[in-house]
Chain A
């Protein structure tokens, strides 16, 4: 309960008095906003309580807001005080955003982020409400799912208590899984094998086809990845023969649950150069990228075993 103040007025012989109670601030339930920007200032995610997630941003279709080390997270909320906005501006008053590990008590937040008020909302038509905001940089090493609470107190110490506003995931993991069509324990995917071939053979299919690349989204927040691949030219064991990496082709079959248009495929690999296979690849097995690898064997190629390497890149977006 807020404290009480007595106001007395006297006029002539009459004397009137009134008591105005100090009421605690109120966090406006529909005013919460969250904005995530890169260090270059690019907006990657925005949520407004009134309109939801802003579309067409890099992370608009994430299952949950997420931010990475060094990115700026700005929280906004409107706070009202029935005793007037001056009660929220002076010494002792304040608004804090609390980041609490998901599901834990807000009494023990991991991060307490102090907010300031937007001076343009002071002295405007609404004399009881101020817009508060806090800009915060995601620190290195922060990881996990956090509940966002807001707490407001006026200059007399009357407090709202922590009020839940939403969630944000800090530094979610990105990950990928490359499997072969006949993959099963205990023979995991370790590479591509074209078996025994003849000089001049074309479109030799890898034994592992169809190769499937999954965005495993380890923290389940809806991270997206770009999938790239590079290969080294295959060299003859104990000899001078070379099969250029450019003779390997990736035939894209399916991605994000839909067949890949014919004009996009095949992709020619390059020696020690990353080439894009697909972007963006959404999480979930149904969205996995399916690829067939083939090899064109050059002519005048010395007989023997040939070996090289292939690297799959999963670039978090």
Chain B
């Protein structure tokens, strides 16, 4: 009986230690933390490049996810970034893929970040005094390198079609009014 009590006591202590040491911080996880894009301008510009960012909520509580862009990724004249969803919630343990399209418009190198901001859905009661609400941000660094000479095939075709149309119209007018 004494032995049983001792074992039970030991197990209780271990359980208490495990419970106390269990932490539940504010967490976040993403992939990829960097996206390298090489665009061949000879295939014509603008070009659409697809990407995907996976966001995971490792917390035991739901979180709010916001996705923002910085740097050249905010200059839509150079690179237009379409993020399929940039404000959503994630359940505990849930992972989602967010599709992203980069439309590269000019021949240059571009840099910027896609910031995945993870915040608690509920910060609890407003505390008295001086307080700061915490968030975790996991950036994805984007580097876009445009190489090769830009092709003007489309523009040439459009110009040629226009010229032929004008010439054709001219010829028709001459025939009608000789």
**A314 near B134 (CB under 8 angstroms)?**
no
A42 to chain B, nearest CB (A): 10
Stretch from B34-42, B79-87, B162-170 that touches the partner:
B34-42
**B129 near A305 (CB under 8 angstroms)?**
yes
**A305 near B128 (CB under 8 angstroms)?**
yes
A207 to chain B, nearest CB (A): 9
Residues on B with beta carbons closer than 8 Å to the beta carbon of A305: 126, 128-131
**B23 near A184 (CB under 8 angstroms)?**
yes
Residues on A with beta carbons closer than 8 Å to the beta carbon of B33: 68, 174, 223, 315-316
A173, A243, A311: residue with the most chain B Cβ atoms closer than 10 Å: A173
**B54 near A143 (CB under 8 angstroms)?**
yes
**A188 near B120 (CB under 8 angstroms)?**
yes
**B132 near A310 (CB under 8 angstroms)?**
yes
> Which chain B residue shows the least CB distance to A317?
B33
B108 to chain A, nearest CB (A): 14
CA gap between A40 and B145 in the complex, in Å: 8
B3 to chain A, nearest CB (A): 32
Given contacts A40-B145, A68-B34, A188-B60, whether A295 and B137 have CB atoms under 8 Å apart is no
CA gap between A316 and B143 in the complex, in Å: 14
Q: Could you tell me which residues of chain A, from 25 to 77, have a CB within 8 Å of some CB in chain B?
A: 38-40, 68-71
Q: Check if B19 is an interface residue, CB within 8 A of chain A.
A: yes
Main secondary structure of the interface of B (DSSP, over half): strand
Q: Check if A1 is an interface residue, CB within 8 A of chain B.
A: no
Which of A39, A188, A307 is B24 in contact with, Cβ under 8 Å? A188
Q: Check if A193 is an interface residue, CB within 8 A of chain B.
A: yes
Residues on B with beta carbons closer than 8 Å to the beta carbon of A194: 129-131
Residues on A with beta carbons closer than 8 Å to the beta carbon of B20: 184
Stretch from A2-10, A116-124, A175-183 that touches the partner:
A175-183
Q: Check if A11 is an interface residue, CB within 8 A of chain B.
A: no
CA gap between A95 and B137 in the complex, in Å: 43
B49 to chain A, nearest CB (A): 8
Q: Check if B45 is an interface residue, CB within 8 A of chain A.
A: no
**A177 near B58 (CB under 8 angstroms)?**
yes
Q: Check if A105 is an interface residue, CB within 8 A of chain B.
A: no
CA gap between A173 and B95 in the complex, in Å: 11
Residues on A with beta carbons closer than 8 Å to the beta carbon of B35: 68-70, 140
Given contacts A68-B35, A70-B37, A191-B123, whether A309 and B134 have CB atoms under 8 Å apart is yes
Q: Could you tell me which residues of chain A, from 217 to 267, have a CB within 8 Å of some CB in chain B?
A: 218, 223, 231, 234, 243, 248
**B26 near A178 (CB under 8 angstroms)?**
yes
**A175 near B129 (CB under 8 angstroms)?**
no
Residues on A with beta carbons closer than 8 Å to the beta carbon of B28: 175-176, 314
CA gap between A156 and B131 in the complex, in Å: 74
Residues on A with beta carbons closer than 8 Å to the beta carbon of B133: 190-191, 307-310
Interface CB pairs A-B, < 8 A, 20 = A68-B34, A68-B36, A69-B32, A69-B36, A177-B25, A178-B26, A179-B26, A180-B25, A184-B23, A188-B59, A188-B120, A194-B129, A305-B129, A308-B131, A310-B133, A310-B135, A311-B117, A312-B26, A313-B138, A314-B136
| Interfacial residues, chain B to chain A (CB-CB below 8 A) | 19-20, 22-38, 49-52, 54, 56, 58-61, 97, 117, 120, 123-124, 126-139, 141, 143, 145
| Interfacial residues, chain A to chain B (CB-CB below 8 A) | 38-40, 68-71, 137, 140-141, 143, 171-180, 183-197, 212, 214, 216, 218, 223, 231, 234, 243, 248, 295, 297, 305-316
Known: A183-B24, A305-B130, A307-B130. 13 other contacts (CB 8 A): A39-B145, A68-B34, A70-B34, A175-B138, A177-B27, A178-B25, A187-B124, A193-B130, A197-B129, A308-B133, A309-B132, A309-B133, A313-B136
